[in-house]
Amino acid sequence: MIGKLVAALRERTGLPAAPATMPTGPSLAYVFGAVLMFLLVVEGVTGFALAAFYAPTATDAWGSVAYIEDQVPGGSLVRGLHHHGGSAIIIVAGIHLVQTAVSGAYKRPRELVWWLGIVLLLLVIGWAITGYWLRWDQAGFYSSQVELGIAAGTPIVGGVIKSLALGGNDAGNLTLTRAYAVHVIALPALVAAVTYLHVSIARRLGPTPVVTKSPRATAPRWPAQSFRDVIAMAVAFALLLAFTLAAGGVDLAAPADPTSSYDARPLWPLRWLFELRVLAGGAEQLVAMVAPAVFGGFLIALPLLDRRPERAPKHRKVWLGALAGMFAVIGALTVASFARDANDEALGKRRAKAEVQANKARALARENGVPVTGALDVYKTPPMYKARALFEQRCKNCHAAESKERKGPVIAPGHGDRAWLAQFLKTPSGDAFYGHTKLATTEDAMKPVELAPADLADLVELLYAESGAGDVDAAKRERGAKLFESACTDCHSKDQGVVSTGGPNLFGLGSRDYYTTFIGNPKSPVHMGPDKSQMPRFDRELTLVDRDAIAEYLVWLRTATEEDLVKLGPL
C-alpha cells in the first residue's frame, strides 16, 4: 500500500526514485546521505516548535528564548536538540564530504554532485551561525560581531555582506530580524532546493560503487540498505539525544548589552579561522581573506585537478593527502583555539562572572517576567529595585553603617520601629543617630529623654503610631499623647503643617508621605529648618516618583530584617 502511494506521488510529481539496486551491495558507506536528510527533518520539526514561542525583536528575543528554556515544558530539550542537531549536521556533512572524496565520488560525471555538496555544507554552517545570533544574549550578540568581522574580510563582497547583515551602523533590531528571515525563510528554501538538486542528480547517476578488494554482487536496496539507513538514523538520533541530555541542553548567556564588554567567540565551525586570525596578528585581515579562499578553492577545484579515472585511494595519494592536510590544519587550529581559552585563567574568571550574571537574569525572568522595554530591564524587576538603586546612589554614602563618610543616622532594617525609636529617644546624639552630624555638637542638639521605662514605651507607641502602622496599642498611644503634651511640645508639634519652635514637626513621622516630603526638602521649616540639617534637598534632583519610591523602601525597612534584605538579592 505504501509502495503504491509513493509510486503514485512520484508519477504525478516527477520526483526521482531511489535506485532499486546497489552496484556493490549494501554498505554503511551509503548511510550518510540518509542520516543528513533525517537530521534536516529533526531541525525542521524542532525549529517549527521553537518558532511558535520565539519573538524576533531586539526587546523580546532573549526573553522568549529564556521562556522556552526555563518555563515551556520540554522547551530546554527541544532547543538543545535543535542547537546540537545543527552541529550534528555539520559534522555528518563533513564526514560525508571526506567519505565522498576518499571514494572518488567527485570524479566525472559526479562533479556537480560534489559542488552542490560543498554548497550545502556552507549553507548549513550559515544556518547554524544565524541561529546562534537569534539568542540575542551576550554570546550570540558578540559572536555575530566576530563572524561579521570575518565575513567583512571576504574579497569584493565582504563589505556588502556586513552591511546587509547589520541593516545599519550597529547591530540592532534590523540585524536580528534579518538574521531571523535568513534563518527561517531564505536558508531553508535554499537548503531544500540545493538538497533536491543534489539528491536528484545523485540518484540519476546512481551510488558510487564502493572500492573493495574483491568484486561484490549487485543487490537490491530494500531491505538490506534501507535497514542500514534506518539503523544509522536511529543511532544518530540516540547520540544526539544523549549528548543533549548530558550537556544539559544548551546555554543561554545574559541579555545582549552592546555597551558592555564580552569575550566573544564565533561558533565552533569558525573557531579555526578565529585562531588563525589571532596567530596572524597584524595580518589578520589578509589571513581572513586568503585562508577561506585557499581551502574553499581547493575543494571546488578538486574534481578539475584530479581528472584521472582511477578512484582507488592508492592512486590519489597526492590529492587525498592534500585534503587530509587541510582538515588536519583546520582541526589543529580549532583545538588550539579551545585550548587557548581553557588555559586562560583571566578568561575563566570573566566567564564565571558572566555565568553568574546569566543565571541571575534567568532567575529574575522566571520570577518576575521580562519587561516590555527590553531584556536588559530584567535586572530592574527585583522588589523595590528602583528605590534600592536610588538609595545606593544618593543615600548610602551618608547613611550606611559601614560608610566611612557617614554624616547622618544609620538607615538599615528596623529603621523607625519601636526599638529604634526607643534607643533614639535615649541617645539622640548616639553613633547610630545624630552622632555623625554637626548638630550633635551644638546647643540645639536634642537632649536625651529621661522617662521611666513604661512611660518611654508609651511615648514610643505614640510616635510609632504616626507612621500609620497597623499594630498600634491604642491604650499606650493615648498615654503617650499625654506625655507628649507635657514633655515634648516645647520643641515639637504633631499638628499637620505647623512649624515647631525647636525641632521638626512629627506629624506622620515614619510614614510614606513624611519621608517623601523630608527627602524633598529636609531644610523645610516643618522639618529640620535651614540651619539644623546638613542633608541636601532632593526635590530638584529627584522626581516625586523617585522620592516616593525611596520613601516606600524606608517604610519597608521598618519591619524588615537583615535576612529580608539579603533575600532581595544584589542590585
What pLDDT is attached to residue 14?
53
Mean pLDDT of 72-76: 96
Residue 225's pLDDT band, with cuts at 50, 70 and 90, is confident
Max intra-chain CA distance, the chain: 118
Mean pLDDT of 194-201: 91
Q: What is the pLDDT of residues 287-331, one digit of tens each?
A: 777 888 899 999 999 999 988 888 888 889 999 999 999 999 999
What pLDDT is attached to residue 315?
86
Mean pLDDT of 92-117: 91
Where do the domains of the chain lie, and which CATH numbers do they carry? 17-361 (1.20.810.10), 385-567 (no CATH)
Q: How far apart are CA 479 and CA 476, in angstroms?
A: 5
Q: How far apart are CA 234 and CA 356, in angstroms?
A: 37
Return the higher-pLDDT residue of 333 and 170: 333
Classify residue 416 by burial, with Cβ atoms within 10 Å: 0-12, 13-18, 19+: buried
Cβ atoms of 70 and 55 closer than 8 Å: no
Q: What is the CA radius of gyration of the chain?
A: 36
Mean pLDDT of 354-383: 93
Quick one: cell of 441?
555638637
What pLDDT is attached to residue 522?
94
Residue 167's pLDDT band, with cuts at 50, 70 and 90, is confident
What dihedral angle (degrees, nearest 10) is formed by the CA atoms of 236, 237, 238, 239?
50
Residue 149's pLDDT band, with cuts at 50, 70 and 90, is confident
Residue 431's pLDDT band, with cuts at 50, 70 and 90, is very high
Return the higher-pLDDT residue of 210 and 186: 186
Q: Match 546497489 to its residue by C-alpha cell.
A: 22
Q: Among 123-127, 146-150, 191-195, 493-497, whose mean pLDDT is lowest?
A: 146-150
Q: What is the pLDDT of residues 380-400, one digit of tens each?
A: 998 899 999 999 999 999 999
Mean pLDDT of 252-264: 92
Bridge partner list, 220: 21
Q: How far apart are CA 428 and CA 409, in angstroms?
A: 10
What pLDDT is attached to residue 2?
52
Q: How far apart are CA 435 and CA 445, in angstroms?
A: 10
Q: What is the pLDDT of residues 546-563, one digit of tens each?
A: 999 999 999 999 999 999
Q: What is the pLDDT of residues 44-59, one digit of tens each?
A: 999 999 999 999 999 9
What pLDDT is attached to residue 351?
94
| Alpha-carbon distance values, 62 to 43, 54, 80, 221, 363 (Å) | 20, 9, 16, 47, 13
Task: Spell out the residues 6+ positions from residue 519 whose beta carbon is closer than 8 angstroms to its own.
Answer: 538, 539, 542, 547, 550, 551
Q: Count of residues for the chain?
A: 571
When the pLDDT of each residue in the chain is averaged and rounded to a whole number, the result is 89
Q: How far apart are CA 334 and CA 344, in angstroms?
A: 16
What pLDDT is attached to residue 33?
87
Return the higher-pLDDT residue of 172 and 304: 304
Look at residue 220 and give its three-state secondary structure.
strand
Q: Match 539503523 to its residue by C-alpha cell.
A: 231
Q: Among 126-135, 153-162, 252-261, 532-541, whose mean pLDDT is lowest?
A: 153-162
Percent of the chain past pLDDT 70, that is, above it, reads 92
In the chain, the N- to C-terminal Cα span, in Å, equals 66
